Structure 1
Amino acid sequence: MAPSPTPIPHPGPAAGGDQTSLQPIPSLQPHRPLRREGATIFLSAAEQAMEDAMMRSSPTPEPVLGKRTRQADDSTDGNDTEPDNGTSSTTQPQSSPSISNVAAATLRYVSKKKLRPEQRDEVDAFLLDTVLGRQAKLFACILSLENKVDTFRSAAPPYQLSDELKTNITNYGVAVLLSVNVSAYKGDIPRNHVLDILKRYRFDLPAGIEHDYANWEKISTFVGYSLTQTRARVKKLIKDSIKANTNIFSLAQMIVHSTPCRTTIQLCSRVALMRAVHAECNGSEKYWNLIDARLEFIRTRAGSSAPRTARAFNKILKVDRATYGAEEEYVIGDTVPDEWQQRVDDVVAGIDIV
Structure 2
Amino acid sequence: MLSLTDMLNRESSPLVPSTEERPSASKLRHGSSPDPPGTPPATTMVRTAKRPAEDLSQYAQSVARKKRLCPEDSDELVSYTKLSRGEKDIWMASTLWSIQGTVSQLQAPDAQWDLPSTLKKKIDIYSAVVILSHTISAYVSDEVPRKLLFEILEIHPSWGYKPEVKENPYKYNMMVSFISSKLTARRYTTKKLIAESIGTTSEDPGEVKRVGADDILILCEKLATNVFKAAKIIVTVPMCARVAFLRLVYVGSPDAGDKFWDIVDKKIKEFRVKFSNDKQKISRKFAKILSQDRTVYGDVDVDYMLVSARMNPAQCESENVHAGIGGAPINGAEQGAQD
Question: TM-score, normalised to structure 2's length?
Answer: 0.55
Is the aligned partner of 1:196 residue 2:170?
A: no
8 Å Cα contact 2:136/2:322 also seen in 1: yes
1:28 corresponds to = none
Q: Once the 2 structures are TM-superposed, how far is the Cα of residue 166 of structure 1 from its aligned partner? A: 2.3
Structure 2 unaligned residues grouped into runs of 5+: 1-107, 200-211, 329-339
8 Å Cα contact 1:191/1:223 also seen in 2: yes
Is the aligned partner of 1:222 residue 2:178?
A: yes
2:16 corresponds to = none
1:338 corresponds to = 312
Give the direction of change, closer, same or farther, for the CA distance of 1:230–1:293 in structure 2 (3 Å limit): same
2:124 corresponds to = 170
> 1:85-135, CA deviations, whole angstroms, 9 ceiling, x for partnerless residues?
xxxxxxxxxxxxxxxxxxxxxxxxxxxxxxxxxxxxxxxxxxxxxxxxxxx
Q: Once the 2 structures are TM-superposed, how far is the Cα of residue 192 of structure 1 from its aligned partner? A: 0.7
Alignment partners' CA distance in 1, 2:286 and 2:301: 21
Alignment partners' CA distance in 2, 1:276 and 1:269: 11
Alignment partners' CA distance in 2, 1:241 and 1:208: 45
Alignment partners' CA distance in 1, 2:282 and 2:252: 21
Give the direction of change, closer, same or farther, for the CA distance of 1:155–1:221 in structure 2 (3 Å limit): closer
2:41 corresponds to = none
8 Å Cα contact 1:169/1:223 also seen in 2: yes
Which of 289, 294, 306 matches 2:262? 289
Q: Once the 2 structures are TM-superposed, how far is the Cα of residue 353 of structure 1 from its aligned partner? A: 2.0
Larger mean CA deviation between 333-342 and 225-234 belongs to 333-342
8 Å Cα contact 1:182/1:349 also seen in 2: no
> 1:30-62, CA deviations, whole angstroms, 9 ceiling, x for partnerless residues?
xxxxxxxxxxxxxxxxxxxxxxxxxxxxxxxxx
Alignment partners' CA distance in 2, 1:266 and 1:254: 16
> 1:155-184, CA deviations, whole angstroms, 9 ceiling, x for partnerless residues?
984111234422321221121122233110
Q: How does 1:8-23 map to 2 (within 5 A)?
A: none
> 1:119-154, CA deviations, whole angstroms, 9 ceiling, x for partnerless residues?
xxxxxxxxxxxxxxxxxxxxxxxxxxxxxxxxxxx8
Structure 1 unaligned residues grouped into runs of 5+: 1-153
8 Å Cα contact 2:131/2:145 also seen in 1: yes
Provide the aligned length of Structure 1 versus Structure 2.
200
Q: How does 1:8-157 map to 2 (within 5 A)?
A: 157=111
Q: Once the 2 structures are TM-superposed, how far is the Cα of residue 186 of structure 1 from its aligned partner? A: 0.6
Alignment partners' CA distance in 1, 2:110 and 2:176: 21
1:255 corresponds to = 223
Alignment partners' CA distance in 1, 2:197 and 2:287: 20
Is the aligned partner of 1:184 residue 2:126?
A: no
Q: Which amino acid aligns with 1:277?
A: V
8 Å Cα contact 1:281/1:287 also seen in 2: yes
Give the direction of change, closer, same or farther, for the CA distance of 1:320–1:155 in structure 2 (3 Å limit): closer
1:325 corresponds to = 298
Q: Once the 2 structures are TM-superposed, how far is the Cα of residue 329 of structure 1 from its aligned partner? A: 6.9
8 Å Cα contact 2:123/2:179 also seen in 1: yes
Is the aligned partner of 1:349 residue 2:323?
A: yes
Structure with the bigger RCO (C-alpha within 8 Å, sep 6+) is 2
8 Å Cα contact 1:239/1:283 also seen in 2: no
Alignment partners' CA distance in 2, 1:353 and 1:329: 35
> 1:249-308, CA deviations, whole angstroms, 9 ceiling, x for partnerless residues?
111111111122210011111111110001011262221111101111111122242210
Q: Which amino acid aligns with 1:251?
A: L
Give secondary structure in 1 for the equivalent of 2:245: helix
Alignment partners' CA distance in 1, 2:245 and 2:117: 32
Question: TM-score, normalised to structure 1's length?
Answer: 0.53
Percent identity, please.
Answer: 26
Give secondary structure in 2 for the equivalent of 1:303: coil
Alignment partners' CA distance in 1, 2:125 and 2:160: 15
8 Å Cα contact 1:260/1:340 also seen in 2: no
Alignment partners' CA distance in 2, 1:352 and 1:281: 35
Give secondary structure in 1 for the equivalent of 2:135: coil
Give the direction of change, closer, same or farther, for the CA distance of 1:340–1:290 in structure 2 (3 Å limit): same
1:309 corresponds to = 282
Alignment partners' CA distance in 2, 1:340 and 1:172: 7
Q: Which amino acid aligns with 1:351?
A: I
